[in-house]
Amino acid sequence: MKFELSQRFFFDAAHTLDRKIETASSARIHGHTYSGEVAVGGARDPASGMVMDLGLLRAALDQVRQRLDHQFLDDIPELGAPTLENLCVYVMNALKSAQIDACRVSIWREGIGDRCTLTASC
C-alpha cells in the first residue's frame, strides 16, 4: 500500500509582479495571505507505522514559512519572480534541502481563488 500524508501552512507576504494584464495594480507593492499544502508519500514503515513523522515535516515547513512570512518576496533571490509557480518550486527545493522529498506542493490565495500545484513522483 502507498500512503500520502499532507500538511498545510500559511504565510503573509508582499510583492510586485511584471504582467501584461492588470499592470498598474500588479506593479504596485501589494500583499496576499498565501496558503500551502505539502504532501509526502510512500509505504508505511512497519516498525513505526508511519510514512514519515509529521513532526519532521512540520518543523521543515516552519523553517520555509519563516523565510516567506511577512517578507517582500521580490527580495528572495532563490525565488525569482514571485509567481505561484515559483513559490511551489521554492518550497519543493527548500524541503529537498531538508531531506524531505515532497510529491506535491500547492500554493493558493483563497481570497482571490488562485491555486498552483507542483507534482513530482512519490
For the chain, what is the domain count? 1
CATH number, domain containing residue 9: 3.30.479.10
What's the residue count for the chain?
A: 122
Confidence of residue 119 (pLDDT cuts 50, 70, 90): very high
Domain with 112 in it:
3-119
Quickly list DSSP for 16-36: ----SSSHHHHHS-EEEEEEE
DSSP-based three-state secondary structure for 108: strand
Q: Take residue 18 and report the three cell numbers written for it.
A: 511584471
Distance between CA 36 and CA 8 in Å, rounded?
A: 6
Q: What are phi and psi of 103, to 5 degrees?
A: -100, -15
Q: With 90 as the cut, is the pLDDT of residue 25 above it?
A: no
CA dihedral 92, 93, 99, 103 (to 10 degrees): 30
Confidence of residue 121 (pLDDT cuts 50, 70, 90): confident
Q: With 80 as the cut, is the pLDDT of residue 22 above it?
A: no
